């Protein structure tokens, strides 16, 4: 009786978003194990993700399933006790403290360069591409890197800091195309090893370092895909360190995924399996942290481009999976599919955004001209 009631509750909830169990639409869910319903009922998004990893259901277009669920606000009706305990932990602890800074590198970015080489573009840029006037992922990522360099008005000889430099794609673009001297930092040993290998003979230096240990000064600073790992308790500290590190008349570009609301926690499944100690900032949290330090010169939202980027990554992953399946295994494949497709659906629903902020110290003589 209890199982039937639980199943009925879950089916009713999903039906509000036009998602049916056993239906014929691509976004409908095909049940392989009836334990799925209690898992969703008890654990919300965490349960849904774990059920997918377990092979308890299949779906032709799970990205569209997620988009439909989020469009109807189903996630709000599926709050569980686990969210409350994660909230308490986030309030009580600094989950992105300096002591924990390298956890994300070890658990995510160090998974294996072979995985990311297979999935990403040729320069291995692991952030939202810019699809304006682009038909391929390689071109869209090149567009994004060039967009950032133009927004920063990079000139030959400029000393540039890249916080969270990844595999060095943007650093190489700035050095080769704009003649910049680049200093990149990362908390991933695997990223830095490959970045150094690919950046030989370029004016680039990399270090395994947390942003809180920065001491030098730079003409320009860029932060791409880093703010998601800083945490709301450290936003002001982050801005103060960037301010201290930026020379007068310099520009700071902050590229980040963002939330429509100011929260203190992230999705439980993403937190557990993909990005530990992560947090998506709101625009209000970012601008609050910058108050009395920076002038906001430009804000650019191209969140829909991340949907397209994630689907390109997903297609690359699916096409190349046979090359790495022995190393990673079936459960990892399903976990990674759920990650890429659920995030694509979230961007498609406009529940999360992709922002590029450009800040100055307010002492530039010329008027900033926004670039698109």
CATH of the domain at 290: 3.40.50.150
Q: Which of the listed residues 28, 46, 81 is the one where a domain comes to its end?
A: 81
Q: Are residues 123 and 261 in the same domain?
A: yes
Tell me if 129 is assigned to some domain: yes
Spatial CA neighbour of 179 closest among 207, 220, 121, 129: 220
Spatial CA neighbour of 198 closest among 108, 116, 313: 116
Q: What is the mean pLDDT for each group of 10 consecutive residues in the chain (372 residues)?
A: 90 95 98 96 91 98 96 72 47 67 94 98 98 98 98 98 98 98 98 98 97 97 98 97 98 98 90 95 98 98 98 98 98 98 97 98 93 96
pLDDT of residue 99: 73
Q: Which of the listed residues 15, 50, 81 is the one where a domain comes to its end?
A: 81
pLDDT of residue 81: 45
Q: Which of the listed residues 81, 108, 129 is the one where a domain comes to its end?
A: 81
CA atoms of 98 and 317, how far apart (whole Å): 33
DSSP 135-198: SSHHHHHHHHHHHHHHHTT--TT-EEEEET-TTSHHHHHHHHHH--EEEEEES-HHHHHHHHHH
Q: Are residues 108 and 137 in the same domain?
A: yes
Q: Is 343 a catalytic residue?
A: yes
Domain count, the chain: 2
Q: Are residues 229 and 327 in the same domain?
A: yes
Q: Are residues 102 and 76 in the same domain?
A: no
Q: H-helix or E-strand containing 299?
A: strand 295-301
Tell me if 90 is assigned to some domain: no
pLDDT of residue 74: 82
Q: Which residues contact 340 (CB under 8 A, 6 or more apart)?
A: 310, 311, 313, 314, 317
Q: Are residues 55 and 128 in the same domain?
A: no
Question: What domain range is 61 assigned to?
Answer: 1-81
Q: Are residues 276 and 346 in the same domain?
A: yes
pLDDT of residue 96: 73
Is 272 exposed, middle or buried (CB count within 10 Å of its CB: 0-12, 13-18, 19+)? Answer: middle
Tell me if 119 is assigned to some domain: yes
CA atoms of 343 and 126, how far apart (whole Å): 14
Q: Of these residues, 128, 149, 165, 343, which one is catalytic?
A: 343
Tell me if 332 is assigned to some domain: yes
Tell me if 87 is assigned to some domain: no
Q: Are residues 47 and 143 in the same domain?
A: no
Q: Are residues 2 and 120 in the same domain?
A: no
Tell me if 203 is assigned to some domain: yes
Tell me if 305 is assigned to some domain: yes
Q: Are residues 75 and 161 in the same domain?
A: no
Tell me if 73 is assigned to some domain: yes
Q: Are residues 223 and 265 in the same domain?
A: yes
Q: Are residues 255 and 162 in the same domain?
A: yes
Q: Are residues 3 and 103 in the same domain?
A: no
């Amino acid at each position: 009786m209890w199982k039937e009631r639980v199943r009925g509750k879950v089916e009713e909830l999903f039906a509000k978003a036009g998602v049916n169990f056993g239906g014929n639409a691509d976004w409908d869910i095909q049940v392989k194990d009836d334990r799925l319903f209690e898992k969703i009922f008890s654990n919300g998004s965490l349960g849904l993700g774990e059920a997918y990893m377990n092979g308890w259901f299949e779906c032709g277009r799970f990205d569209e399933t997620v988009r439909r669920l989020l469009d109807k606000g189903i996630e709000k009706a599926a709050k569980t006790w686990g969210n409350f305990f994660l909230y308490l932990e986030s309030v009580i602890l600094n989950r992105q403290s300096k002591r924990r800074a390298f956890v994300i590198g070890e658990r995510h970015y160090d998974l294996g360069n072979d995985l990311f080489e297979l999935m990403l573009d040729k320069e291995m840029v692991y952030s939202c591409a810019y699809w304006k006037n682009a038909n391929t992922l390689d071109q869209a990522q090149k567009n994004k890197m060039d967009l950032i360099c133009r927004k920063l008005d990079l000139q030959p000889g400029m000393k540039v800091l890249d916080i969270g430099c990844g595999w060095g794609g943007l650093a190489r673009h700035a050095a080769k195309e704009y003649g910049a001297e680049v200093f990149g930092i990362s908390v991933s040993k695997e990223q830095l090893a490959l970045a150094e290998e690919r950046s030989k003979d370029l004016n680039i230096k990399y270090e395994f370092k947390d942003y809180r240990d920065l001491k030098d000064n730079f003409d320009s600073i860029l932060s791409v895909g880093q703010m998601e790992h800083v945490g709301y308790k450290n936003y002001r500290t982050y801005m103060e360190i960037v301010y201290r590190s930026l020379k007068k008349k310099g520009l700071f570009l902050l590229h980040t995924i963002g939330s429509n609301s100011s929260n203190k926690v992230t999705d439980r499944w993403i937190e557990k399996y993909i990005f530990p100690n992560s947090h998506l900032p709101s625009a209000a949290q970012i601008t609050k942290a910058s108050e009395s330090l920076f002038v906001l010169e430009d804000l650019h939202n191209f969140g829909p481009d991340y949907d397209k980027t994630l689907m390109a990554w997903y297609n690359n992953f699916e096409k190349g999976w046979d090359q790495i399946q022995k190393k990673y295994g079936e459960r990892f494949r399903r976990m990674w599919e759920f990650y890429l497709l659920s995030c694509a659906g979230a961007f498609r629903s406009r529940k999360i955004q992709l922002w590029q902020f450009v800040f100055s110290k307010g002492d530039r003589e010329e008027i900033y001209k926004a670039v698109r």
